[in-house]
Structure 1
Amino acid sequence: MPDDMPARSGSARLRELPTRLVGHVSAVADRLVTDGFAVADARRWHYAVLTALRETGPVSQAELSRVAGIYRSDLVAVLNELSVQGYVERAPDPSDRRRNVITITPAGWDRVRRLDALIDGIQDELLAPLDAAERAQFKRLLERLYEHHFPAS
C-alpha cells in the first residue's frame, strides 16, 4: 500500500463505495506490478509488447500498438529499449518498405516466460485472501465491468 494512503478509511460510507474500494485495490495492484517489474529491470509496457508479439507473431508497429494497447508514439521508445536489450528485432516489411515488422527474438521468448512467472506471483500476492473459486468469480466480474466500459469495436 502506498505510504501516504491510510490502511483503512474510518468512514463507513466510504468503505461501502465500490469506486473507493476499486481505487484503493487498484493502487495496491499498480504498486505490486511496478515494484515487481522493477526488480526484474522491466516495465509493464515491456511485458505488454512481448506478450502481444508472442500472440501475434511478427507484426507491423501499427498492429502491435493496437494489440498491446500502447500509443504508437510511446511504442517507439519501448521498442528501442527492447531492441537494445535483444528482445525484439525490427526489419523493413518486404511487402511495404515504409513499414517495420517487429519480431520477438529467442531472448525475448525467454524474457516473456520469466515475466509471466513474475506476474503470476504478483497476481497471487494481490489475490491472496481469495480461494480459487473466489478468484475465478472476481475475474469474471472484473471482465464484465471491463466489457461494459470498453465494448469491443
Structure 2
Amino acid sequence: MSTERGGDPGGAASARRGEVSDRGEVPDGAGWAESSGASGMAPMAATPGATDASQGAEPDERLTPARLRGMPSRLLALTAARADRLVSASLAEEDARKWHYTVLVSLDEFGPTSQAGLSRRTGIYRSDLVAVINELAERGLVERAPDPGDRRRNVITLTARGHARLRRLDAVLEAAQEELMEPLSVAERALLTGLLERVLRH
C-alpha cells in the first residue's frame, strides 16, 4: 500500500482485469496500484450526493443509513481510500511514489531480474515499468546491465544507494502504518491483518 504518484508515468495505460495500471486495478499478489483509490472501484457514497471517498472527503457517519454503516465492503473501501491517501502523502514528502517502493522492495527481497520478471513480480504493466525504472535509474537507485545469459535483455539490480533509499522509505511507511492503525492495540493490529489476509485469499 492517489497519486503517490506525483505524476504517474503510466497515465496512458488502460486498466485491464488481472493487471495493475494507473487506474488502480490490482492483480492477485501484485504491488500497489497508482490511483486515488486503493481498490479498482470507487467506494460507495454514504448518502445521495455525498462526495466519493476516493476523491478525498469522508462521509458524515451521522447521516449514513445504518445498513451502509455496517456494510463490510463499504468499510473496507473507505479504509482503503484513507490508507491510500496517507501512504501516498507520506511518500510524496520524500519525493517518492508507491511504484518506486514496490520496485525497490521487490529487487531487495528477490534479487536482480529482467524487466519482464519485475513486471510479473509487481503486477506493473511493462510499458509503465519502463518509466518507473528510468526514474529510479536516473537517481542512481537501480542499474541496468545486459544479461550475460541473454544479451537481448537487461537485468535490473538494486544499487547501494537504492538500498539506503529503501531503508528510508521503509521507515516512512512504518510511520504511516502506525498512524493508520493508531486506534488499535498491537494484538488487534495483528488480528486485523490476519483477517484481511484471509478475506483477500478467499
The alignment's TM-score, normalised by the length of structure 1, stands at 0.92
Q: Distance in 2 between matches of 1:106 and 1:33?
A: 24
Equivalences for residues 59-70 of structure 1 within 5 A = 59-70=113-124
The partner residue of 1:6 within 59, 78, 81 is: 59
Q: Are 1:23 and 2:77 counterparts?
A: yes
Corresponding residue number in structure 2 for 1:108: 162
Q: Distance in 1 between matches of 2:157 and 2:194?
A: 32
Corresponding residue number in structure 1 for 2:200: 146
Secondary structure of 2:157's aligned partner: strand
Q: Are 1:85 and 2:139 counterparts?
A: yes
Which consecutive residues of structure 2, in runs of 5 or more, have no partner in the other structure?
A: 1-52
Amino acid in the other structure paired with 2:59: P
- 1:67 positional shift: 1.3
- Spell out, residue by residue over 1:45-97, the C-alpha distance to the aligned partner (whole angstroms, 9 max, x if none): 00000000001111111111111221111111100000001100001111101
The partner residue of 2:171 within 105, 113, 117 is: 117
Fraction of identical pairs, as percent: 57
Secondary structure of 1:109's aligned partner: helix
Tell me the C-alpha RMSD between the 2 structures.
1.3
Closer/same/farther in 2, CA of residues 51 and 102 from structure 1, 3 Å limit:
same
- 1:36 positional shift: 0.5
Q: Are 1:99 and 2:156 counterparts?
A: no
How many residues align structurally? Answer: 148
Equivalences for residues 118-137 of structure 1 within 5 A = 118-137=172-191
Secondary structure of 1:6's aligned partner: coil
Amino acid in the other structure paired with 2:58: M
Which consecutive residues of structure 1, in runs of 5 or more, have no partner in the other structure?
A: 149-153
- 1:3 positional shift: 4.6
Amino acid in the other structure paired with 1:4: A
Q: Distance in 1 between matches of 2:166 and 2:110?
A: 14
- 1:103 positional shift: 0.3
Q: Which moved more, 1:6-15 or 1:66-75?
A: 6-15
Amino acid in the other structure paired with 1:116: D
- 1:145 positional shift: 1.4
Equivalences for residues 17-56 of structure 1 within 5 A = 17-56=71-110
Secondary structure of 1:136's aligned partner: helix
Secondary structure of 1:42's aligned partner: coil
Q: Higher helix share goes to which structure?
A: 1
